[in-house]
Structure 1
Amino acid sequence: MAHRYNLNVFCLPSELVDTLTPRALVGQPPPREPSPPPPTVAPLASAKGCNICLGATFADVDEQRVHFRTDWHRYNVKIRLSGGNAITESAFAQLVGGLEDSLSGSASSDDEISDESDAVNTLLSKINYTSLSDVPEDGTLKAPLTALTWFHSPPSTQIGVYRMLFPLDTPPSAYLSELKAMQATVEGGRKWAMFLVAGGHFAGAIVRVGRISDEQDEVVQTRKRKPPKSKPETEVLEHKTFHRYTTRKKQGGSQSINDNAKGAAISAGAMLRRYGEQALRDDIRNLLRDWAEDIHECERIFIRASVSNRRIFLDYEGCVISKGDGRLRTFPFPTRRPTQAELARCLQELVRAKVSHLTEEALRAQDEAYLASLPKPKPLPAQPALESVEKPKPPRLTKEEEIVREKWNRLLDMVSKGRLEPLKAFWEREGQDLGGIDALIPEWTGDRRASILQVAAQAGHDAVVQWLLFDLHADPTTPVPLAWTKDGGMESDASDAEAPPAGSRRTAYDLARSRAVRDVFRRCAADHPDWWDWFGIAHVPSALSKEKEEERDDKKKQRRKGLREKMREREAREREQERSSEVVFPVEEPPKAKKEPPSGPQKLGGSSGSTDGIAGLTPEMRAKVERERRARAAEARLR
């Protein structure tokens, strides 16, 4: 049986549709049979029972209602819905006992039932029973869902259809029946709405897909002798495209996104782009209002837009398309710039069935190779094994410890960022509670520096370092931990290294990366030499007094002055060399016009023309001579 390759999913041949079967992995074992119902215990003559939980009987209705609110019953219900087996009450108690945090009681209120952090959901998240229905008995995996669903027609024909064409709540087992129902004709034809918007470009269309009812064709045949021409399977009923300037050139992104990220720009281009965005939004909404009647008749509505542009179509006052409309779809394939041609391509891609011709042997080999490439699922642990899977509990902190940690984090953040004024105000309030200026940084912060002064010195904030040294008398002799290296990293073998001799440990001065910070240490050593052992333990090389600093500044000025003088001398020498290299050529007066006598003998000999003086020169030399001649003529005119 020969088929066309351009098959419309709404106009498939009947002989092909009748032979279609859902395409599944040939190499995959049959699905697992549903778990048998649990054995029920015969209740007493006047007792009530639970069909889910094993051996649960109740004396009256109130006791049964209490049971329905217990974690045990809720757990069994969710396990059964996920394809698992119900467990006894003692087994459930063992599972709950292995949790870190369980509920305080079995009878929960309505608010507690809706909480997603209770024991039932915690157990389900650990066991992950939601994937049990996807894992067969032998441990193989099913193929993941793709944009296309395939149907097989023996002996060697496969038809692929996009899942987006089916209703959203359709299970995969009902795809074939939906495909057969799509072959029925609809009065007026099936209508779709398609919209594309990106980068200020918009393209929209109302299209007809599938066949039209034959009643109108029969009426036309009774009136005319010639049969009417058959209408195409797809037809564009309405279409519109327009463009607005909304995107920043060479930078991408709309103006509104840039304004939200960096603040509103005040350039002329920004104002034009904002106007373009507003105009684009108004144009699209006006078009939707004009097409409202056709959109209400559409079977599917396809929209391709970004998150910000999607608000143009939905969720505004008087919107034509509601936000929760079940007809809404996205294009299940990449699209290009919104144009009328791109809409036509997307339409053909959606309605055209994908056709392949593979034999069952080739399909089986293909499926086996695909299943072999899938990662094997991890074996599910047994239920009692949950007791051994326990993560170590982090130590619980008291409220006071949490407050202290928050203070340290704020302090280190302000010091590392150089925020001096907030740091001063914070230290006046909290400095004594944190242990003073020389308190060591706690280990739980993860900071490998020992003091606040070391943090400020390595960050390069000279103003903060000066405040710490001069005002708070911070200790510069505190050693840096051995694991801290010069570039801020960790030494790999620091823990195994022997302790260095005294005085060789690094200090805050060694962590300083800028000259301004090092000068602060040297100034403090010069002004207050008796505070600390600056030149020994603190590793400060020398003191920097005001006289030395002024002397250093004078040397800098003299050095700069000498450099400027050398530059002037060099420029003067270059100008003199240019003048000496110039060649002065004699400038000859232009020859006077010679009048030839009307008659008579002529004098012997030639006359010197205007080109005798520059004859034999290169074009560059001639141009130079001409410039000299013009300059002399201009000087003569000025006199």
Structure 2
Amino acid sequence: MFSLPPELLQSLTLRNAFSQVPELPPSRAESPQLAPGPTAASSRACNICLGASFLDVDEQRVHYRSDWHRYNVKIRLKGGEAVSEAEFAKLVDALEDSISGSASSSDESDSEQSDAVRDLLQKTKIASRSPSPSSEALSAPQTALTWFHSPPATQIGVEMQKGVGEGRKWAMFMVAGGHFAGLVVRVGKPEDAEEEVEDTTRRKKPKKPKPDTEVLLHKTFHRYTTRRKQGGSQSMNDNAKGNAKSAGAQLRRYGEQALREDIRNLLTDWAEEIDQCERIWIRASGSNRRIFLDYEGAIIPKGDERLRTFPFPTRRPTQSELTRCLAELTRVKVSHLTEDALRAQDEAYLASLPKPKPKPTPAPQPVLKVAEPKLSKEEELLHDKWFRLLEMVHKGRLDALKAFWEREGTNLGGIDASIPEWTDERYRTLLQLATQLGQEDITVWLLEEARADPTIEVPSSIAVEKLDEDAADAVPAQAGSRRVAFDLARSRAVRDIFRRSAGAHPEWWDWLGAGHIPSILSKEMEENREEKKKVRRKGLKDKVREREAKEKERESTASPVEEVVQPKPAPQPEPRTGPRKLGGSSGATEGVAGLTPEMRAKIERERRARAAEARMKALSRR
């Protein structure tokens, strides 16, 4: 990286976020303020500073050390635009403290220039190269590798470092898991290397040139500090769980102390070489990092500007791993892709990225709940009365309901008053509510004594109720049709209450029309219905008696010869052990096995009698 030819360095341009070759704006390239220089064929030019051209290499080197060039390089790296020399002079003059105003000593000229560039960069507000989250473009992943483009089809990737001093030595140290590796390496050729190569060309046996990098010092060693296959140092385990008293723990503590002393002794031995190093690379965890810095008489002061960490993953500290890391930091990555290939590569990469998340929609403004108006004492009293009334209907407390209605009925609007919506009841009147709940006593009181209107329509939002199985005399209402209180009755007993009221008071309401009652029910009709039930029960009993008499005659007329001829089934031996069931084995046939015909007939009669009694009970329920 430190041995790239000047011709290549002059042609390099920094690629932007997605590897597109930056083009020079025409307005800047053709600016009349730039000082004209010699022709491009016979001069050298700076690709960063606009209009800067040089006659020889020495003039170019002086330009590269100037604040103007350093400012343009840093401003371009941050995504800004380079300025001309005149514009840079105006920026410097605009500073409150000029470059020479901070000190008069010549020894501090370098620091003054650095302060000027730093102050200019801090004062200049530069838009970030990465697009904002709202833009459609996506930012490239952040890596330690920086790519430059050299037309027409060459790309160079390097690990960027801030600033370049005169020294070209690096110190590299790694420690982890009791393993340590360190080296001091020369990463740049000495200044007399080219002259030595020119001199050796005249000899018959040319001298082999020195390599680009050369390891000056190196050392590796290992101490037992971690438990096998368990990870973590002994000191970390002691801090977390307390000091262990095993022999292995004692050995690991000794290994940690020995490792710390060995590293610090090595740093003392290499102190002269470390002082000459341009960069010091350290890979160590938080606790291990104190081995190098945080102790009395440390060779490397804490906060040293030369300190760096490896900007990529590393493996176990070994000599070969340090060599690999050195190559990653110093070797140039080269690719040869045309601009069209670079664009295609960038488009493929962009296509592989996840789509940007949509802009978060602003959260809806919370709907402010309108505070319910505070009820007056009269309204609170009215609410309390309605809730008490509905509770009596739900629980079927007829006596309490009668007393309450005699006292408060008029104030509540009468027996047909609509139930208020704020009570959350689905039904419109008390009669509809009591009918749906199946409260027979309350329904009778509402129809007979309170004379509630049975023709008031039920709210259309209420679904049709399912009738019970014995609703033969009911006319079920269809969904969507007009319905009244009778349509809400779910049992025959409640429907008979409406039919009795219709029969007893036909002049009160339009029972058979608007009331949806299919037919009236008078006392004579109920008596006739009971007589029919009694006759039906009597007929069933007579049929049972006739059947039993016929069975007795059949058993008495049975031939005695047949009884003698028919051999008796041999009784099956019962097990002597185990539980026994009363009545013999399971099943009707096995239960009468071994009995005489008279006993079997008697058992059969008892079975039939029980079946007949069950049928009679079923009929009486109807």
Q: TM-score, normalised by structure 2?
A: 0.39
User: Which protein is bigger by CA-based radius of gyration?
Assistant: 2
Higher relative contact order (CA 8 A, sep 6+): 1
Q: TM-score, normalised by structure 1?
A: 0.38
